[in-house]
Amino acid sequence: MTTTYHIADIRNVALAGHGASGKTSLADALLFAAGATQRKGSVDDGTSTLDYDDEEKRRHFTIDCHLGHLAWNDKQVHLIDSPGYPDFIGNALSALAAVENVVLAVSGPAGIEVNTRRLFNEARRLSLGRFIAITKMDADNVDYRSDLEAIRETFGNSCVPFNVPIGQGASFSGVIDVLQTHDDDPADCPLAPSEAYQMLVEQIVETDEDLMTRYLEGESIDVEELRKAAHDAIAAGKLVPILCVCTRKDLGVKELLDLITTCGLSPSDVHRFGTRGDDGDASDEEILPAEDGTLVAQVFKTSNDQFMGKLSFLRILSGRITPDTNLVNLRSGKTGKAGHVYVLQGKAQEEVSEAIAGDIVAIAKFDDLHVSDTVSNVGGNTSVRQLKVSPIKFPAPMVPRAVVPKAREDESKISAGLAKIADEDPTFTIRRDAQTHELVISGMSDLHLDVIQQRLKNRYKLEMTTHIPHVPYLETITTPAEADYRHKKQTGGRGQFAEVHLRVRPVERGKGFTFTDAVKGGTIPNQYIPAVEKGVRERLDRGAVSGNQVVDVEVEVYFGKDHPVDSSEQAFKTAADHAFRRAFEKANPVLLEPIVSVEVTVPSAHFGDISADMSTRRGHITGMETLSAGQQTIQAVVPLAEMLSYASTLKSMTSGHGSYTMEMHGYEAVPPNIQQQIVDRYQRSRAGVEEE
């Protein structure tokens, strides 16, 4: 396929909204209406063009973002269907980063839901053209006027109807274009077209002084002039068209395509920025979309295809790509040929001979590319630093789980498989906890991690179980102390003998471990001093009272005894281990627990419940802020141990309308009653395992 269009002819559109709002059904209907597919796919019967993943078919909702394309009114439209549930917000944010327009699906029966608000605000932050499609207009319990009022109350009066429904619910039979002239208002329209016309025109002319003057003087403004002004108002963020659709009956679908292609934004209408080099003082520079010149493209999605290998999805911001283009990853410096360049229709791949600025394509077998990477073309003046696109912003995953392979021999395979999945999903991470030695995965929710676990099984035939990870407590002391230990064994032949006397002292928080040799008179021969230090260091890693790492302590060895035959490095190491534990237990040990800074965003109605819940978690509220649209944030510092299952609690308390972020704040002493519980639990777990 050869490109026959130009930048001004491209419309990139993300379909977004809450789960079960009908986004994927709308995508299937748009493709079918434009003749891009021969039959209209269905989510319910598993034939959707875009929801083709086995896990998506099984669960009947979108997990990844998927691509499609169509032609309409001589415009090339690239569609990205994105997930609706907050559990998979990362893929939705990737989709928004690759487009200039977003159609937010609002379910007619359900109204505005939590993820709709979040994605609307993100689209506004990115200066995208926003359109709202009220879906499922033929469903029971649809109240168009209530939906319209809720949209305008939530998102502002810039949201105005571009068409009105003829009937609603079972009687829904079509839509009326508000800008067209109508002699009479049909009785079965829940909103009179004349009333909608006045709302729409007044919002459009507000953005144009000349049109405002003419309108106030009573002049009739031409429909095409209004459409042109509507495009400018959408680009300025001052107009959000509302339309009605019913994908089951294919009503309102073509009208949506008409509006996107006539009033939607092209790649030239949205300003995108990048920086040159990695300097901290590098200023933002606008990326000008041009079909010729230096290539600038950003990776917004990757996938590991069973047959094609790794696919990297690129949004071309400037320049063009052909199969012969030499590419360079500006993050790593790795280079390679573009090779095959594809446009996608769901899982179907169509090879193209070139792609221009504004296009969305995929390239295969460039293994080093990751989400947010910038790709450029090799050559030209290499002394000039290339322009890197600003990275896509993703929320940090807040739900950690420790991984246990069902088959011990699968541990390395599971790590490799999870790493590949993490490469596809920026809101999923995998790490090995250096202190607890657990393999810990983190995601947006239990559902998110359940899908990850199922994908690992489906793709790589690997199974695992998960549990809440151990909290990485630390041990330290608060007073000086000293102790000694004599290690003596005689079992026939050469025995074991070593005696070690140690002093321990607390040091300033964060200073770590210090070992001092204060032995005088050779009571411990010099060759055994390193063994004493090694015995202490090994105990630091294993902990002295609770099995957690020891920090911020000074250890001094000042006396000991040896035996000319029975002493050895191992004997002194063992003696030092026990002497240190005895001294540590005398030095008023305390456990330190990780404390996190938390910011919770909820509707104001839930503020009291969230504040009270924080108190039960031993949290201290440090601040609060009132946001727009009835939202409020609460800042607090809370022990990490109290936050490991917070995601499900917050979801339950706010009906899914709350979100939170969390980052490390520091360490503080554990309250004595809780410390005793942790120590007792550790002592029970090691009873009979480690000999004194």
234: in domain: no
| pLDDT at residue 380, rounded to an integer | 44
- Whether 419 and 383 map to the same domain: the answer is no
- Whether 440 and 538 map to the same domain: the answer is no
The SS3 of residue 590 is: strand
Altogether, the residues listed in the chain come to a count of 692
Residue 574 confidence (pLDDT) above 90: yes
- Whether 255 and 333 map to the same domain: the answer is no
| pLDDT at residue 284, rounded to an integer | 85
- Whether 541 and 615 map to the same domain: the answer is no
Best CA proximity match to 363, nearest among 275, 418, 416, 295: 295
- Whether 563 and 620 map to the same domain: the answer is no
**pLDDT tens readout for residues 234-268:** 999 999 999 999 999 999 999 999 999 999 999 99
Cα–Cα distance for residue pair 79/636, rounded to 1 Å: 41
210: in domain: no
Residue 530 confidence (pLDDT) above 60: yes
- Whether 111 and 27 map to the same domain: the answer is yes
| pLDDT at residue 280, rounded to an integer | 52
Cα–Cα distance for residue pair 82/349, rounded to 1 Å: 19
Mean pLDDT for 193-211 is 93
CATH (domain of 446): 3.30.70.870
Phi-psi region of 506 (alpha: psi -120 to 50; beta: other; left: phi over 0): beta
| pLDDT at residue 677, rounded to an integer | 94
Q: Are 158 and 240 in contact (CB under 8 A)?
A: yes
The greatest distance separating any two alpha carbons of the chain, rounded to the nearest whole angstrom, comes to 114
Residue 36 confidence (pLDDT) above 80: yes
Residue 309 confidence (pLDDT) above 70: yes
Binning pLDDT at 50, 70 and 90, where does residue 383 land? Answer: very low
**pLDDT tens readout for residues 498-529:** 999 999 999 999 899 999 999 999 999 999 99
Best CA proximity match to 83, nearest among 110, 55, 104, 62: 62
Helix axes 529-542, 569-586, angle to 10 degrees: 50
Residue 191 confidence (pLDDT) above 70: yes
Residue 689 confidence (pLDDT) above 50: no
Cα–Cα distance for residue pair 265/305, rounded to 1 Å: 32
The domain boundary, picked from 587, 614, 644, lies at 587
Binning pLDDT at 50, 70 and 90, where does residue 2 land? Answer: low
Q: Are 377 and 326 in contact (CB under 8 A)?
A: yes
- In this structure, of 104-108, 175-179, 627-631, the range with the lowest mean pLDDT score is 627-631
Domain assignment of residue 448, given as a range: 399-467
- Whether 439 and 300 map to the same domain: the answer is no
- Whether 165 and 26 map to the same domain: the answer is yes
Question: How do 399-405 and 341-345 pair as beta strands?
Answer: unpaired
Helix axes 223-235, 253-263, angle to 10 degrees: 70
- The reported pTM is 0.84
- Whether 449 and 534 map to the same domain: the answer is no
80: in domain: yes
- Whether 166 and 293 map to the same domain: the answer is no
**pLDDT tens readout for residues 4-31:** 899 999 999 999 999 999 999 999 999 9
CB-based contacts of 118, cutoff 8 Å, min separation 6: 86, 89, 659
Looking at the structure of the chain, the number of domains it has is 5
- Whether 541 and 453 map to the same domain: the answer is no
The domain boundary, picked from 587, 613, 635, lies at 587
- Whether 102 and 140 map to the same domain: the answer is yes
Residue 381 confidence (pLDDT) above 50: no
Across the chain, mean pLDDT equals 92
The domain boundary, picked from 428, 445, 467, lies at 467
**pLDDT tens readout for residues 332-363:** 999 999 999 999 999 999 999 999 999 999 99
Residue 167 confidence (pLDDT) above 70: yes
| pLDDT at residue 384, rounded to an integer | 53
Q: Determine how many CB atoms are found less than 10 A away from the CB of residue 374.
A: 25
CATH (domain of 490): 3.30.230.10
**pLDDT tens readout for residues 544-570:** 999 999 999 999 999 999 999 999 999
**pLDDT tens readout for residues 415-440:** 999 999 999 999 999 999 877 889 99
